[in-house]
Structure 1
Amino acid sequence: MSAAAEDETGREPDYRFTLANERTFLAWIRTALGLLAGGVAVAHFTAAGTDPRVRTAVGALCAVLACVIAVGAFRQWRRVQTAMRRDAPLPRPPLVPVTLTGVCVAAMLSVALVAG
């Protein structure tokens, strides 16, 4: 069964829940775009005297985390939509701990970048 056919099984959920699911997806995408912009800014616009390895690590971490969040947001949107169609319990979002961990690591690296 294809992913499109899987999404079409069950009943059509209330449009308000579908729209709420889309808003949540878009919020995750905004988070990913913010991280991507931050990664580019850190990698290219930090002071010349900073350690390039730390600067590259922060920029790369932000860019990779942005990609993980964007892909995860789509997968979560689809999982929630399918659960709503089937009247099943909503799946837990795996993006919350991933985002928390990634942002904390990026913050610690940023402290090292500023302190160094």
Structure 2
Amino acid sequence: MGTSKEPADLDGKEPDPRFTLANERTFLTWLSTSLALSAGGVAMAAVSPDAFVPWMRTALAVVLVSLSALCAGMAYPRWRHVQNALRSQAPIPPPALAPLFGYGVAAVALLALVLILTGR
């Protein structure tokens, strides 16, 4: 990413450094998001079973950690696709998993809301 010697499969013209740096910041943001999702999942798993309905607490933890793994796993391929598009002056591909993350976080929020409203 920040090296002067790029991998062989990154063909094309060197893009404006501002775009490359923006792409790298986006990559790091995907990783930060992954860490936050993972921390949320671990926190839910660590909550006392008496505090929430056990199956719902486990479901929240599993969804959060799964989204975390998916987010981290797709960060580098996404960076690579955008970098290739920048080098070939092609349109930047849309993030394929954006709907999944949107709906996944919405599902977590709804489950958390149920836990809060039930007072358990």
TM (norm. structure 2) is 0.85
Q: 1:5 aligns with which of 4, 8, 13?
A: 8
- Over the matched positions of the two proteins, sequence identity in percent amounts to 45
Equivalents in 2 of 1:58, 1:49: separation in Å? 14
Indicate whether 1:52 and 2:58 are aligned. Answer: no
Partner of 1:105: 107
1:47: how far off?
Answer: 5.7
1:111: how far off?
Answer: 2.0
1:54–1:112 contact (8 Å) kept in structure 2: no
Q: 1:70 aligns with which of 53, 63, 72?
A: 72
Higher mean C-alpha displacement, 41-50 vs 75-84: 41-50
1:46: how far off?
Answer: 4.5
Q: 2:87 aligns with which of 85, 88, 97?
A: 85
- Map 1:22-41; keep pairs closer than 5 Å: 22-41=24-43
Higher mean C-alpha displacement, 17-26 vs 70-79: 70-79
CA RMSD of aligned residues (A): 1.5
Summarize deviations over 1:6-42 as a string: whole Å, max 9, x none: 22x1111111111000001111111111110011001
In the alignment of these two chains, the number of paired residues is: 112
Higher relative helix content: 1
Equivalents in 1 of 2:90, 2:18: separation in Å? 17
Distance change in 2, residues 1:99/1:46 (3 Å): farther
Runs of 4+ in 1 over 4 A off after TM superposition: none
Higher mean C-alpha displacement, 47-56 vs 18-27: 47-56
| Gaps in structure 1 of 5+ consecutive residues | none
